[in-house]
Structure 1
Amino acid sequence: MGDLSRTNAIEHGVVKTEPFRSFLRLLRPYRGRLSLSTLSFLVKDSPAWLLPPLTAAIIDIVVARGPLPNLWLLAGLATVLLTLNYPFHMLYVRGSSLATRSMAVDVRNALTERLQRLSIGFHNRQSASIVQTKVVRDVENLELMMQQAFPTVLSTVFTLTGAIVITAIAVPAFVGVFAITVPVAALLVRYIRTRAGARNENFRLEVERFSAGVGEMAALIPITRGHGLELVASKRVAGQARSVSIAGQELDTLNGRFGAFSWVSYQILGVACLVGASAASITQLIPITPGQVVLLSTYFTVLTGGIVNLLNVTPVVSRGLESMRSIAEIMEEPDVEVNDGRDPVASVSGAIELDGVTFRYLGGRPALTDITISIRAGETIALVGPSGSGKSTLLNLVLGFVRPTTGRVLLDGRDMNTLDMRSVRSHVSIVPQESVLFEGTIRDNVAYGLTGVDDESILSALRGANALDILGPADSPSGSGLDAIVGTRGSGLSGGQRQRLAIARALVRDPRILILDEPTSALDADSEGRVKDALATLFRDRTTLIAAHRLSTIREADRIAYIEKGRIVELGSHDELMALGNRYARIVSRQTT
């Protein structure tokens, strides 16, 4: 099964209301290897249920004082059984480890692919820290469940089966004693899972809220430090950490209570089994040899130990199944951008038309109302207006991140609702307000997502973005400075350098449509001047939509659209709007005085 088909199988096989079945479906591609691992475990764990009858036979030989050769034979059999443990244990570990780790890779790949297809609206609603928790921690819980529960279940099942079969042959009257432990254990496991389910879910939700809080704290550190609010931020996170602690303590208390109760109960049953078997042997109520007394006692001890381990691993299983539900929340999230079956776009001229477009967010007033505008291919349109007026929403509509509530968005005369937006976006570049860089080289950041881009093309893009100075004055035009590391999120660069690097990233793609959202709002005058020169190169022969406040960025646009309360209230060139003497003119007046 290929990676894509496996990802699709995971998406369709994971159901929130069926966490255990969903987990089994994740393991289905590895059933052959898991079957081999199970057989290996059967051989390597066989001493647990084959040594007790050998021990019983040795004790009977001792009681009978011979024959001695039989003792050596039994010792040899025991040695062979114990020696087999190592090779078959390694076979089991290799098989189960490969299945577990591969399953985790499959789930993380499926989650990542699903997250890439979920709408921008979903990602705006969902904390990035919670998403990270699902991809990292929840999948880790599935691995932990497999690593701890799988061998425990196998050991308990094989030991129980072996003990019952051998006891049925040696001492049939005691088979019922072992059979009682199975339903008792099953009832305890079911009871614990039921009680722990709600507390596991509560604990998971508290951890997700804590992760979101930590993410917010990290993002707000500049504001926190700048306003001297370190203590407030620390108390806020401490309160969330306390909530996680309380939820965890409640879960631990429940697990501890049932773990102790089950251990005490089965130890008492073990003593009762030993005493009962001894009494039956002494009174000859049941013909039992001394060795068989040890056999029954050993079996019951091993069996109850296995069941106690099974009960102890139940919290891990409950946590794993809760993580399975958490993963299913992403897989079942319906807010997906649908592109399959829509028309792919091979080339773009760049003509954009919004025809009577209204967009309303869920439960809110319209963000845009009856927007109608035609943008010619190669034209630069600047969007201005107060914060919250709808500029970014309009850009998101053009990008296809959101769909119109009513009306149409046309690209080269074709309704964008009928187009595969992934193919459309291959002709689009975005320069956001804050450039998004990753820890890597300048080359990696400029050519992000592209293959076959040579250094000369990257240098040309940097030159066009007025960004060759980022390579350093000692670097030659040959491009040796392209290997310089920009640091985490571009921490090794200034704000202006990061923005010019983002412009170079846009230039190297040679897009037909360019989207810019406040590209100079956070820059000082010197950096703004350098970025403005780079933008002049970027705008050339491309359809450009730019949302901005600063006059220096927008006055050279072909037309300027002033948006207020979701409507275009002024539209024209800089000179035309200045002649109107209305809203735009007042903004210009404020910026120039």
Structure 2
Amino acid sequence: MSAAATPARRPRPRTLRQALPGLRRLLPHVRPHLHQQRLLVAGGGAAMAIEVAMRLLEPWPMKFVIDGVVGRLGADIAVEDPTNLQQVLVLSCLGLLAVVLLRAVASYLMTICFALAGNRLLTAVRADAFAHLQRLSLSFHDRARTGDLVQRLTADVGRLKEVTVTAALPLAGNVVTLVAMVVVVLVLDWRLALCMLAVFPVFLLTGRRASARIHEVSKTQRRAEGHLATLATETLGSMKVVQAYTLEGQMQDRFASNNLKTLKDGVKAKRLAAGLERSTDVLVGVATALVLFVGAHRVLAGALTPGELVVFITYLKAAFKPLRDLAKYTGRISQAAASAERVVDLLEEEPEVLDPARARSGRRLRGLVELDGVHLGYETGHPVLRGVDLRLLPGERVALVGPSGAGKSTVAGLVLRMRDPDLGAVRIDGWDLRDLTVQDVRAQVAVVLQESLLFATSVRENIAMGAVGGPDEVTEEQVVAAAQVAGAHEFIRDLPQGYDTIVSERGETLSGGQRQRVAIARAVLRDAPVVILDEATTGLDEETEAEVTSALDRLTAGRTTLVITHDLAAARSADRLVWLEAGRVADAGTPDEVLVRRADDIEGALDVTR
């Protein structure tokens, strides 16, 4: 089952503490890229160590001034050599300035190094997620929501990148500083240290309760944003239908409802995070007052110097900064944890069609296609194909016809290895497709669909995408030659920028016939031994259909061709006709023979009006 389309298989965390494993689940997907950023990580770690050391040193010049200069003057102690006091004062001020400058430089370098490393690592994870999405089987994409997948690739990974820079890095430095300062204050005065540490359990209890609510709201907000992205994607992708049926008001109402939900969840998360921040400020104030009261008595008792008390109070303020930051960033960290879970769920989704260890590659096949006792069902207990046996000889043209839902397109998907059969085998030239790599199988097959989608790039690139080696392996002459075979060269040459003309998304700036001929040119360039035509001429006017049919004839000459059609004329043009019904081969033979035997079934299954 898909994590994108169905409830997750593992229990969802309810607290921030339980959510952190979601972030840890991301580490195995980051680790392969970590080696490339080792210098940045090492540099950031060294800068962090220097920055922490400077934080520890920063209060000490003030101690020397208070104890060595101010304290002696305030106590009316005779100063034998004022020059020494002046030197202490100057050296302390210069030392403080040096410490602050070094700390600023180290903090800057730490932030830059870790930010670059984090952003590069998560950019690589995003690329991995996109590549993984393209490897996932059609069954996954049939169930998944496109808008939600886009949200995972863009917003969720983007949120992780943002939190890495604005929350995780400051917290990492502050936690290291906290540990170091706790050690120092324990050495200075363990009694005062215990006063400071006494508020930690209260903070942990308060933070745990608040973070549970914040994380739950964050998860709800991420899901709502995924629904919102899906609705926007569906509406924009179906704008013709929306406007034709005047659905603008309904779509606007649905969008407004989802949009308002994300707003409410976002405000609620901010309110909870703000409340946690303020409660933390109160706890810090209580701890400071307690330490100041006890520390003053320790100074009066002679156990501490005034300068040491100042160092202690300074450390106290600095040591509690991680608590403030944790409260401040709890909302962001919760959102990042929810985003990490969504990204990892996607990365851990297993493709159903895989290359086994025994897979062979690099073969050029002749085009003998066989389906041997093939059974396939998209859902358990609902078979689509029931023991299909089919054989296409090299260079033979076979029409696959029958009523809608008979399984014709499923057969085409099996030949392309979009899915593997539950039982039986699909072979090309005797090779079981499961013994070949997915890439090699699909390199042997060219496809022209009823709705041939083009990409929002130049006509040249759309054609060149058909090449097995990719667009970079194709010359201008090969592109033009493929377009000429497809009967597309003339109209492409008349476009505003010719082959460099940029088509709109899905190729909507071209007519249906033009899109089909560009798609045919793409198939020509693939030079595959097997061609699948899935309703390739459906929906075209008579003149355009004739042009496209002529181009298809040139494409399929000498190639094994599987024609999936409801068009009687296209069925008659085949060498052999296979009648598929209820997932079984119900009849096969020459087109005329089968059509005579199936005369009663033709109406409703084939278009006989042409």
Cα-to-partner distance string for 1:227-277 (whole Å, 9 max, x where unaligned): 111111111222222333343344334333322222222223223333443
TM-score normalized by structure 2? 0.86
SS, match of residue 302 in structure 1: helix
Show the counterpart of 1:19.
Answer: 22
Shift in Å, 1:337: 1.5
Q: Does 2:324 align with 1:308?
A: yes
Change (3 A) 1:522 1:253: farther
SS, match of residue 592 in structure 1: coil
Deviates more, 1:41-50 or 1:388-397: 41-50
Cα-to-partner distance string for 1:274-323 (whole Å, 9 max, x where unaligned): 34433544xx1354444334333332222223321122222222222222
Match of 1:486, as an amino acid? V
Change (3 A) 1:185 1:162: same
Change (3 A) 1:244 1:552: farther
Cα-to-partner distance string for 1:91-130 (whole Å, 9 max, x where unaligned): 3233212311221132123222322322111111112222
Show the counterpart of 1:454.
Answer: 475
CA contact (8 A) 1:267 1:304 kept: no
Show the counterpart of 1:55.
Answer: 62
SS, match of residue 366 in structure 1: strand
**What is the percent sequence identity of the aligned residues?**
28
CA contact (8 A) 2:55 2:103 kept: no
Show the counterpart of 2:459.
Answer: 442
Q: Does 2:43 align with 1:36?
A: yes
Match of 2:580, as an amino acid? I
Show the counterpart of 2:339.
Answer: 323
CA contact (8 A) 1:461 1:507 kept: yes
Show the counterpart of 2:288.
Answer: 270
Q: Does 2:156 align with 1:138?
A: yes
Deviates more, 1:225-234 or 1:362-371: 362-371
The equivalent position to 2:445 in structure 1, one of 421, 428, 445, is 428
CA contact (8 A) 1:16 1:328 kept: no
Deviates more, 1:346-355 or 1:543-552: 543-552
- Distance in 2, Cα, partners of 1:24 & 1:345: 35
Match of 2:417, as an amino acid? G
- Distance in 2, Cα, partners of 1:303 & 1:119: 51
Change (3 A) 1:162 1:345: closer
CA contact (8 A) 1:551 1:588 kept: no
Show the counterpart of 2:485.
Answer: 464
SS, match of residue 337 in structure 1: coil
CA contact (8 A) 1:156 1:310 kept: no
TM-score normalized by structure 1? 0.88
Cα-to-partner distance string for 1:348-370 (whole Å, 9 max, x where unaligned): 11111222222112135221222
Shift in Å, 1:422: 1.9
Match of 2:332, as an amino acid? V
Change (3 A) 1:175 1:557: same
CA contact (8 A) 1:16 1:329 kept: no
CA contact (8 A) 1:345 1:424 kept: no
SS, match of residue 134 in structure 2: helix
- Distance in 2, Cα, partners of 1:321 & 1:587: 53
SS, match of residue 591 in structure 1: coil
Show the counterpart of 1:294.
Answer: 310
Match of 2:428, as an amino acid? L
Deviates more, 1:355-364 or 1:158-167: 158-167
- Distance in 2, Cα, partners of 1:147 & 1:578: 69
CA contact (8 A) 1:439 1:485 kept: yes
For 1:346-425, list aligned pairs within 5 A: 346-425=363-442
Show the counterpart of 1:527.
Answer: 544
- Distance in 1, Cα, partners of 2:149 & 2:186: 53
Change (3 A) 1:524 1:85: farther
Shift in Å, 1:195: 4.2
SS, match of residue 398 in structure 2: strand
- Distance in 2, Cα, partners of 1:150 & 1:581: 70
CA contact (8 A) 2:402 2:605 kept: no
Deviates more, 1:523-532 or 1:217-226: 523-532
Change (3 A) 1:21 1:47: same
Show the counterpart of 2:175.
Answer: 157
- Distance in 2, Cα, partners of 1:439 & 1:45: 51
- Distance in 2, Cα, partners of 1:87 & 1:295: 23
- Distance in 2, Cα, partners of 1:241 & 1:583: 54
Structure 1 stretches of 5 or more lacking a match?
1-14
Change (3 A) 1:189 1:42: farther
- Distance in 1, Cα, partners of 2:287 & 2:491: 76
**Alignment length, in residue pairs?**
573
Change (3 A) 1:424 1:474: closer
Match of 1:313, as an amino acid? Y
The equivalent position to 2:242 in structure 1, one of 216, 224, 239, is 224
Give the aligned CA root-mean-square deviation in angstroms.
2.8
Change (3 A) 1:17 1:352: farther
Show the counterpart of 1:548.
Answer: 565
For 1:81-160, list aligned pairs within 5 A: 81-160=99-178
Change (3 A) 1:260 1:363: farther
CA contact (8 A) 1:111 1:330 kept: yes
Q: Does 2:494 align with 1:473?
A: yes
Change (3 A) 1:39 1:297: same
SS, match of residue 563 in structure 2: strand
Structure 2 stretches of 5 or more lacking a match?
1-17, 74-81
CA contact (8 A) 1:149 1:317 kept: yes
Cα-to-partner distance string for 1:530-584 (whole Å, 9 max, x where unaligned): 2122111111111111222233444312223333332333433333344336146
Match of 2:506, as an amino acid? R
SS, match of residue 59 in structure 2: helix
Change (3 A) 1:425 1:297: same
Show the counterpart of 1:211.
Answer: 229
- Distance in 2, Cα, partners of 1:243 & 1:572: 60
CA contact (8 A) 1:457 1:508 kept: yes
Change (3 A) 1:172 1:586: closer
- Distance in 2, Cα, partners of 1:184 & 1:57: 35
Shift in Å, 1:75: 0.8
Shift in Å, 1:518: 1.9
The equivalent position to 2:576 in structure 1, one of 559, 575, 578, is 559
Shift in Å, 1:191: 4.5
- Distance in 2, Cα, partners of 1:443 & 1:507: 13
Match of 1:386, as an amino acid? P
Match of 2:327, as an amino acid? L
CA contact (8 A) 2:568 2:607 kept: no
Change (3 A) 1:77 1:250: same
- Distance in 2, Cα, partners of 1:264 & 1:592: 82
